[in-house]
């Protein structure tokens, strides 16, 4: 069963000295992007991200320089010795504690389950002594039912497999959740394949427009929900043209207008 990932967000985080410096320069847009980076850290391997900021910039629809400044200019993150990855020390401390608690709870649940299983086994042995033949027939029927219930849905598998084969960056296949695969099945094969093609065209157009280092996001990221941004052709960046302002860009425009009004 998939679990919801989370990390603590203190109510006074905005008043932290380093974050306050970030807000003074970039306002609430910078504050929001900082926590969006933490969300990406949560989904990443070992809670680290690459210092190749292009993918993050594309994800948030902001400039590469903006991401680089937030990561490097305010002391909010640390870097590996080769400077190829960055991480948050405070974030790691929180997640190590959370992971440790989760492991302890899982172990306690396992032990409780073993104890319950032993009691059930003893009870079953007593019943088997009285009605062994009848119970064997029932167990055979139950096993057949369980096998039928655990068989993967052929349509869900075929839809996802077809889309995975068409996707250019085949990383993280095992990380695609069952819930995501079920959602892909509901969309239909034609729709998910169209989303893949729209995204591929969007990246190719951005590369042609000068963003030559833009890489395709990992397959796990795309199929765990990002494909929703590319369900129709309006999401494709035009060649040598302007694209409608993203949510982040519109937020920046509103903040700038508010600041101008206050100055007047």
What pLDDT is recorded for position 12? 74
Helices within 61-88 (DSSP H only):
64-72
Please list, in sequence order, all residues whose beta carbon lies within 8 angstroms of the beta carbon of residue 16, skipping any fewer than 6 positions away. Answer: none
Each residue's pLDDT tens digit, 71-101 = 999 999 999 999 999 998 888 887 775 555 5
Residue 97 CA neighbour count, 13 Å, CB half: 8
Angle 206-60-244 from CA coordinates, rounded to 5°:
60
Q: Of the candidates 197, 199, 243, which has an alpha carbon nearest to the alpha carbon of residue 221? A: 199
- Phi, psi dihedral angles at 177 (to 5 degrees): -75, 160
Lookup result for tokens 């969300």: 39
What pLDDT is recorded for position 113? 59
The encoded tokens of residue 229 equal 């941004």
pTM of the model: 0.38
46 — alpha (psi -120 to 50), left (phi > 0) or beta?
A: left
Tell me the C-alpha distance between 104 and 110, whole Å. 10
Q: Of the candidates 157, 151, 147, 219, which has an alpha carbon nearest to the alpha carbon of residue 182? A: 157
Each residue's pLDDT tens digit, 107-131 = 666 666 566 666 676 666 666 656 6
The encoded tokens of residue 222 equal 């795309």
Each residue's pLDDT tens digit, 187-232 = 888 999 999 999 999 999 999 988 898 999 999 999 999 999 999 9
78: which strand partners?
87
């Amino acid at each position: 069963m998939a679990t919801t990932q989370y990390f603590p967000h203190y109510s006074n985080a905005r008043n932290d000295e380093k974050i306050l410096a970030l807000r003074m320069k970039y306002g609430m847009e910078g504050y929001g992007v900082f926590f969006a980076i933490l969300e990406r850290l949560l989904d990443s391997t070992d809670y680290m991200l690459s210092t190749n900021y292009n993918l993050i910039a594309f994800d948030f629809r902001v400039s590469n320089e903006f991401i680089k400044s937030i990561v490097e200019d305010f002391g909010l993150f640390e870097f590996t010795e080769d400077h190829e990855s960055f991480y948050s020390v405070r974030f790691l401390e929180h997640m190590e504690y959370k992971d440790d608690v989760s492991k302890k709870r899982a172990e306690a649940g396992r032990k409780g389950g073993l104890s319950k299983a032993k009691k059930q086994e003893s009870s079953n042995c007593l019943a088997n002594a009285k009605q062994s033949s009848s119970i064997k027939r029932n167990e055979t029927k139950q096993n057949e039912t369980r096998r039928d219930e655990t068989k993967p849905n052929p349509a869900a598998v075929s839809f996802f497999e077809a889309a995975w084969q068409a996707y250019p960056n085949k990383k993280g296949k095992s990380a695609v959740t069952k819930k995501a695969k079920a959602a892909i099945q509901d969309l239909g094969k034609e729709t998910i394949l169209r989303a893949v093609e729209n995204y591929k065209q969007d990246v190719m157009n951005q590369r042609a427009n000068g963003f030559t280092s833009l890489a395709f996001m990992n397959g796990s990221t795309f199929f765990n929900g990002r494909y929703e941004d590319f369900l129709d052709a309006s999401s494709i960046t035009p060649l040598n043209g302007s694209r409608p302002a993203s949510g982040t860009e519109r937020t920046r425009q509103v903040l700038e207008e508010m600041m101008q009004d206050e100055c007047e």
